[in-house]
Structure 1
């Protein structure tokens, strides 16, 4: 983890750089596709969703959340990714939803820079790294 400064433009620039964004999406998809069938099952995507720890922490302190509530949230998120409702998520569905989510984050962030703690390998961290390489060039 590292503390980084980013703003909406950092995220938008990363998403709009199709080559950089597509490489990151493909790498993450391959990592999640543990059975190597070219599709993400609910179980495979669930591992990624659980790693986000949407409800399990409150300011860094674990809190008890009803497992039924968590399952409902994770199921709803999976449905958002599974655009054709066939029970799996292909690369294009994953890319489209990640793009939508990243742009929604950028939109909600506004134009003022914010400091965030980012996980290594996360899409936001990749956006910051992408911006840094552009500034260094």
Structure 2
């Protein structure tokens, strides 16, 4: 983990960079697709959903949540990814929903820079790294 400065434009620019975004999506999808069938089952996507840390308070301290409520929320998130409701998530569904979520986050952040703690390998960390490389090349 590291503390990084980013704003909505950092995220939007990453998502709009088709090569960088698609490459990151494909890499993450391949890691999650443990049985290598080209589809993500609920079990395969669950770890990624849990990494979103929707049940967390300030400073990384987890909230004690009823297991039934957790299951309901994670199932609901899975349904968001499973656009065709076939019980699995393909690469295009994963890409489309990740893009939608990231753009919603960018919209929420706006264009004032904020400091965030980012996990290594996260899409937000990749967005910040991409921006840093572009700035270094422009200098």
TM-score range, shorter chain: over 0.9
TM-score by length of 2: 0.95
Stretches of structure 1 that go unaligned for 5 or more consecutive residues are none
1:78 positional shift: 0.3
**Structure 2: distance between partners of 1:107 and 1:32:** 27
**Structure 1: distance between partners of 2:16 and 2:39:** 24
Partner residue of 2:113?
113
Please give the per-residue CA displacement for 1:5-48, whole angstroms capped at 9, x wherever unaligned: 00011000000000000000000000000010000000000111
Q: Which moved more, 1:43-52 or 1:19-28?
A: 43-52
How many residues align? The count is 136
The 5-angstrom pairing of residues 1-137 of structure 1 reads 1-55=1-55, 57-59=56-58, 60-137=60-137
Provide the alpha-carbon RMSD of the alignment. 0.8
**Structure 2: distance between partners of 1:105 and 1:62:** 21
**Structure 2: distance between partners of 1:14 and 1:68:** 36
Query: What SS does structure 2 have at the residue aligned with 1:34?
Result: coil
